[in-house]
């Protein structure tokens, strides 16, 4: 497989910048300073129409005056002046660009036109570019930072992609204070050319990057995003925050980058299908991303808790349990080995509670090492490691106890080598997260962070982070993705759709819809289409009462609300009465469906819905009259493999109802999975199909049957 073109864009040996000057108040100057001061070793060419030198380098009045075509051109000029200078770089042979300039599609209709002209020029000269309306790129491998803020700290392992420039520039100080270090970062802006999937593909190939965090407002090519993410996530964790699913969030995204926001539940399904861990704040995007980037892979979901206080220990336990982890009591043998290391009254069954014992060596080194070597934990959450920060906090009360000792002397005396503590997770190849109320002013927090052990400012956050490792393990444990098997069109389906389109129907009637489904092996209830009372009574006798009677007409899509469905018809008289009532309510002579009546109480739904952004999506969830009330429905992008169909079943909250439950038979999940996988492919075979709604799916002897279906053309 060929490498992404983006490797070349991220590794230029020469850079030209248009918009940098000697005025430190100008944005372009800040971009130029970041390139120079953060250590870029390549050639630097400022382009300025008036200045002779810029930031100490010779300036060139025009791209045509440059000694060579630079690998990368950066534009920080007003939108109205951009196109001519962009074209000039195209003429001299530059192949990569970053357009920081704003004022394009995010600014309205005129901006849309301007962006289209920019794209035309890029295509004409074969230029690949990031932006417009972006903050640029960061590549710590070559000390390249094209944003407006200096980078703090050493290179890290977390790759970051953002549709917001702020999160890859104004955040550097925030990240530095938390020991979080990036490997690569890209602000994609409006994505007129390079899009978020291009960068994801690149970071998936990047050896320096061990985890990827993404801030997303919109995905322009959902199918390709899914394909790329599927390749990456089995080997490298990807987490994402999606903003825009609410009405207010969607408006903000549109004004921000020109993004067209999508439905939140479809993004949720997309992330699950792709193996992406979803988070709900930028704080988690950084913190959980850093945990996934730095910690050893977790082997199971057993978490050991070490704390110096009962409250944080309980908070960690509750949060871990709510997120799929277990906190098993330690064996008697392990407890016997732990007990002598604790105060006499301290519990050690899990959590291990030091109850404010300040013996930090034991708490941060001896006990964690003991737990990890025991084979009884797969990960550890540690709360309360502290030294110099705590001493500084209580120093105002200390002068009487240590006469004449300054704060600096107290802290210096308490500072020691913490190598044994900070290397515990890596020596044992078992992950650990830390919770502390002290920031980097405390030596423990600083040394943990500087040695790739994540520190969080609350117990719950540290627990969430360790839970993310467990979640990623479940993603890696999934069966490898295999493309959905091919489904060949049936003559029956072709004929049904052709006849409906010739009659200019906007939907199939229920009987025809179920005939179409049955032609693909989807099981439907036993039924007959009848045009008279006599036919209905004979059909009921043949099917065997009790039966269901319902009107059948392609123009009537919601029959129940109109009283055109009769249930539990136990004999011929009730069938006759129901037939007459349906004709009277309909106000016209209509055929009716006579179908067997299922006694199973469980009702589920399945269907295909067409979304402008996502294409056809499969839905599955709780059906019947509670569909809207409970909203227990999950979504995936069509088509689905058998494995993905199985996952969507297990994703709903009501999955227990598909098992042996309260005397009801266990559902044949294999048949239900097959039904969903086939259903997900139908709109791809028959492009005339817009939507399919199957509600309810009922069960007989544990086997699924379609009881009602609507196909919209």
- At residue 525, φ and ψ (nearest 5 deg) are -65, 155
Q: Is the pLDDT of residue 252 over 60?
A: no
- Whether residues 138 and 18 share a domain: the answer is yes
- pLDDT-derived band of residue 106, with 50, 70 and 90 as boundaries? confident
Residue 102 CA to residue 609 CA, distance in Å, equals 36
- pLDDT-derived band of residue 649, with 50, 70 and 90 as boundaries? very high
- Whether residues 101 and 248 share a domain: the answer is yes
- Whether residues 238 and 361 share a domain: the answer is no
- pLDDT-derived band of residue 399, with 50, 70 and 90 as boundaries? low
Q: What is the structure's pLDDT at 257?
A: 36
Distances in Å between the Cα of 244 and the Cα atoms of 63, 287, 330, 622 are 40, 22, 45, 26
- Whether residues 424 and 466 share a domain: the answer is yes
pLDDT tens by residue, 544-596: 999 999 999 998 878 888 889 999 999 999 999 999 999 999 888 999 999 99
Q: What is the structure's pLDDT at 29?
A: 95
Sign of CA pseudo-dihedral 376, 380, 381, 383: positive
For residue 326, give the DSSP letter.
B
Q: What is the structure's pLDDT at 1?
A: 54
- pLDDT-derived band of residue 630, with 50, 70 and 90 as boundaries? confident
In sequence order, the 6+-apart residues with CB closer than 8 A to the CB of 20 are: 26, 28, 29, 31, 32, 46, 48, 54, 55, 76
First to last CA, the chain: 40
Strand partners, 594: 528, 549
Residue 341 CA to residue 280 CA, distance in Å, equals 40
Domain of 362, in residue numbers: 297-476
433 domain residue, yes or no: yes
Q: What is the structure's pLDDT at 261?
A: 46
482 domain residue, yes or no: no
- Whether residues 143 and 261 share a domain: the answer is yes
Strand partners, 706: 524, 697
pLDDT tens by residue, 296-349: 999 999 999 999 999 999 999 999 999 999 999 999 999 999 999 998 888 999
Give alpha helix (H) positions in 477-609. 491-502, 510-519, 533-543, 572-586
- pLDDT-derived band of residue 402, with 50, 70 and 90 as boundaries? low
Average pLDDT over residues 697-701: 91
* Owner of token pair 């006499």: 344
Q: What is the structure's pLDDT at 94?
A: 98
Which residues in 388-531 belong to E strands, given as ranges?
432-435, 455-456, 507-508, 527-530
- pLDDT-derived band of residue 258, with 50, 70 and 90 as boundaries? very low
Residue 260 CA to residue 254 CA, distance in Å, equals 6
Residue at which a domain ends, from 225, 258, 292: 292
Q: Which of 46-60, 271-285, 332-346, 620-634 has the lowest mean pLDDT?
A: 620-634
229 HSE (CA, 13 A, CB side): 25
Q: Which of 365-374, 633-642, 651-660 has the lowest mean pLDDT?
A: 651-660
Nearest C-alpha neighbor of 9 from the set 167, 134, 151, 181: 134
Q: What is the structure's pLDDT at 246?
A: 58
600 domain residue, yes or no: no
689 domain residue, yes or no: no
Residue 696 near residue 705 (C-beta atoms within 8 A): no
668 domain residue, yes or no: no
Domain tally for the chain?
Answer: 2
pLDDT tens by residue, 277-299: 999 999 999 999 999 999 999 99
Q: What is the structure's pLDDT at 409?
A: 76
Sign of CA pseudo-dihedral 368, 371, 372, 377: negative
- Whether residues 88 and 10 share a domain: the answer is yes
Q: What is the domain-level CATH number for residue 374?
A: 3.40.50.261
Sign of CA pseudo-dihedral 558, 615, 189, 183: positive
Average pLDDT over residues 55-80: 96
Residue 617 near residue 631 (C-beta atoms within 8 A): no
Pairing of strands 303-307, 379-383: parallel
Residue at which a domain ends, from 476, 496, 520: 476
Strand partners, 430: none
Strand partners, 283: none
Crossing angle of the two packed helices 310-322 and 459-476, in degrees rounded to 10: 30
- Whether residues 337 and 314 share a domain: the answer is yes
- Whether residues 92 and 229 share a domain: the answer is yes
Cα-to-chain-centroid distance, residue 278: 4
Q: What is the structure's pLDDT at 412?
A: 81
Q: What is the structure's pLDDT at 260?
A: 40
149 domain residue, yes or no: yes
- Whether residues 214 and 322 share a domain: the answer is no
Residue 183 near residue 159 (C-beta atoms within 8 A): yes
- Whether residues 239 and 200 share a domain: the answer is yes
360 domain residue, yes or no: yes
Residue 64 CA to residue 75 CA, distance in Å, equals 16
In sequence order, the 6+-apart residues with CB closer than 8 A to the CB of 54 are: 20, 21, 22, 32, 46, 48
Residue at which a domain ends, from 271, 292, 313: 292
Q: What is the structure's pLDDT at 18?
A: 97
- At residue 420, φ and ψ (nearest 5 deg) are -60, -35
137: tokens are 């790129």
Nearest C-alpha neighbor of 31 from the set 73, 74, 71, 88: 74
Residue 121 near residue 114 (C-beta atoms within 8 A): no
- Whether residues 332 and 451 share a domain: the answer is yes
Q: Is the pLDDT of residue 190 over 50?
A: yes
Containing 311, the helix (H) or strand (E) segment is helix 310-322
Residue 500 CA to residue 71 CA, distance in Å, equals 58
611 domain residue, yes or no: no
- Whether residues 102 and 217 share a domain: the answer is yes
Q: Is the pLDDT of residue 401 over 70?
A: no
616: tokens are 């056809």
In sequence order, the 6+-apart residues with CB closer than 8 A to the CB of 104 are: 79, 111, 112, 114, 115, 118, 132, 133, 190, 192, 258
Q: Is the pLDDT of residue 36 over 70?
A: yes
486: tokens are 């091919």
In sequence order, the 6+-apart residues with CB closer than 8 A to the CB of 84 are: none
pLDDT tens by residue, 380-395: 999 999 998 888 887 7
Q: What is the structure's pLDDT at 299?
A: 97
């Amino acid at each position: 497989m060929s490498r992404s073109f983006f490797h070349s864009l991220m590794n230029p040996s020469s850079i030209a910048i248009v918009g940098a000057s000697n005025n430190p108040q100008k944005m372009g100057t800040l971009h130029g300073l970041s390139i120079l001061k953060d250590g870029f070793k390549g050639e630097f060419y400022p382009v300025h129409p008036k200045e002779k030198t810029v930031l100490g380098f010779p300036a060139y009045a025009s791209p045509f005056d440059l000694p060579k075509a630079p690998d990368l051109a950066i534009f920080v000029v007003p939108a109205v002046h951009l196109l001519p200078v962009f074209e000039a770089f195209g003429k001299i042979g530059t192949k990569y660009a970053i357009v920081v300039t704003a004022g394009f599609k995010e600014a309205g209709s005129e901006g849309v036109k301007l962006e289209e002209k920019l794209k035309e020029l890029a295509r004409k000269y074969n230029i690949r570019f990031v932006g417009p309306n972006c903050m640029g790129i960061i590549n710590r491998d070559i000390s390249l930072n094209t944003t407006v803020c200096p980078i703090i700290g050493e290179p890290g392992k977390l790759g970051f992609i953002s549709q917001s420039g702020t999160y890859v520039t104004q955040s550097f100080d925030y990240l530095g204070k938390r020991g979080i270090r990036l490997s690569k970062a890209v602000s994609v802006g409006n994505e007129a050319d390079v899009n978020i999937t291009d960068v994801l593909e690149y970071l998936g190939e990047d050896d320096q990057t061990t985890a990827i965090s993404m801030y997303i407002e919109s995905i322009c090519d959902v199918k390709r995003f899914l394909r790329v993410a599927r390749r990456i996530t089995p080997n490298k964790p990807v987490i994402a925050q999606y903003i825009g699913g609410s009405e207010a969030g969607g408006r903000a995204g549109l004004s921000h980058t020109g993004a067209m926001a999508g439905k939140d539940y479809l993004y949720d399904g997309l992330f699950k299908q792709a193996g992406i861990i979803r988070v709900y704040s930028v704080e988690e995007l950084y913190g959980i991303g850093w945990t996934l980037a730095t910690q050893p892979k977790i082997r199971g979901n057993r978490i050991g808790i070490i704390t110096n206080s009962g409250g944080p220990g309980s908070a960690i336990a509750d949060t871990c349990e709510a997120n799929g982890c277990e906190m098993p009591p330690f064996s008697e043998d392990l407890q016997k080995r732990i007990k002598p290391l604790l105060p006499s009254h301290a519990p050690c069954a899990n959590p291990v509670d030091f109850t404010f014992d300040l013996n930090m060596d034991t708490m941060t080194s001896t006990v964690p090492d003991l737990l990890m070597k025991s084979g009884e934990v797969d990960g550890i959450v540690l709360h309360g490691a502290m030294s110099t920060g705590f001493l500084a906090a209580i120093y105002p009360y200390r002068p009487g106890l240590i006469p004449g000792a300054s704060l600096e002397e107290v802290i210096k005396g308490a500072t020691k080598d913490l190598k044994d503590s900070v290397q515990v997770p890596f020596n044992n190849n078992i992950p650990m997260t830390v919770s502390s109320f002290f920031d980097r002013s405390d030596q423990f927090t600083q040394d943990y962070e500087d040695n790739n052990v994540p520190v969080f400012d609350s117990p719950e956050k540290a627990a969430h982070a360790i839970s993310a490792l467990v979640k990623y393990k479940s993603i890696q444990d999934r069966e490898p993705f295999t493309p959905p098997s091919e489904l060949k069109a049936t003559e029956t389906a072709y004929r049904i759709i052709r006849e409906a389109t010739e009659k200019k129907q906007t939907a199939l009637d229920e009987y025809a819809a179920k005939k179409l489904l049955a032609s693909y092996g989807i099981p439907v209830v036993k039924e007959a289409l009848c045009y008279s009372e006599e036919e209905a009574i004979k059909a009921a006798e043949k099917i065997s009462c009790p039966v269901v009677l319902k009107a059948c007409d392609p123009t009537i899509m919601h029959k129940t609300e109109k009283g055109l469905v009769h249930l539990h018809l136990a004999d011929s008289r009730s069938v006759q009465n129901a037939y007459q009532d349906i004709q009277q309510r309909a106000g016209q002579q209509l055929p009716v469906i006579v179908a067997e009546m299922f006694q199973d109480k469980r009702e589920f739904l399945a269907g295909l819905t067409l979304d402008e952004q996502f294409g056809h999506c499969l839905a599955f969830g709780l059906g019947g009259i509670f569909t809207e009330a409970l909203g227990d429905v999950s979504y995936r992008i069509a088509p689905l493999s058998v494995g993905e169909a199985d996952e969507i079943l297990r994703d709903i909250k009501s999955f227990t109802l598909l098992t042996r439950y309260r005397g009801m038979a266990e559902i044949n999940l294999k048949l239900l999975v097959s039904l969903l996988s086939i259903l997900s492919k139908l709109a791809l075979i028959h492009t005339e199909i817009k939507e399919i709604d199957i509600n309810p799916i009922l069960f007989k002897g544990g086997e699924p049957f379609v009881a009602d279906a609507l196909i919209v053309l």
